[in-house]
Amino acid sequence: MRRCMIIGFAALVLAGCAPVLDRDLMNAGARQFQLSHLVETPEVFKDHLFILGGVIVDTKLTEQGSQIEALFVPVNSSGYLRDSTLYQGRFIAVYARRRACWIP
């Protein structure tokens, strides 16, 4: 019994260390960029994938979905924040609300 508990605990700890985003998605997204360039000329970057890291400041539930306001912090090649004390501005991310579909 004790051995099962230790194995279960170890599995939870290892799962907590796994990256949040898929590795292919992480490799496809740009991580080395200046937030100011995105803000100044957003039309140039349309349809590009960026990996944004940050510290969450506020969250809201809106008609469009979940809105997250965060302090922008560059990420390393694994997607982890480089230095959360040196933020470079703020951004708002919206996770679009999905419509539920009921199929009897």
Q: Taking a C-beta distance cutoff of 8 angstroms, is the pair 19, 79 a contact?
A: yes
d(CA 23, CA 62): 30
Q: C-alpha angle with apex 46: 44 to 51, nearest 5 degrees?
A: 105
Domain extent at residue 40: 22-96
CB atoms within 10 A of CB 70: 19
pLDDT at position 19 is: 57
Mean pLDDT score, 8-14: 61
Report if residue 2 sits inside a domain: no
pLDDT at position 59 is: 93
pLDDT at position 57 is: 93
Report if residue 27 sits inside a domain: yes
pLDDT at position 12 is: 57
Question: Which tokens in the block code for residue 91?
Answer: 């951004």
pLDDT at position 104 is: 47
Report if residue 53 sits inside a domain: yes
Write out pLDDT tens, residues 13-61. 555 555 556 777 777 877 777 778 888 888 888 888 887 888 899 999 9
d(CA 59, CA 43): 26
Q: What is the mean pLDDT of the chain?
A: 77
Report if residue 5 sits inside a domain: no
Report if residue 51 sits inside a domain: yes
Q: Domain total for the chain? A: 1
Cα pseudo-dihedral 95, 79, 58, 50, rounded to 10: -50
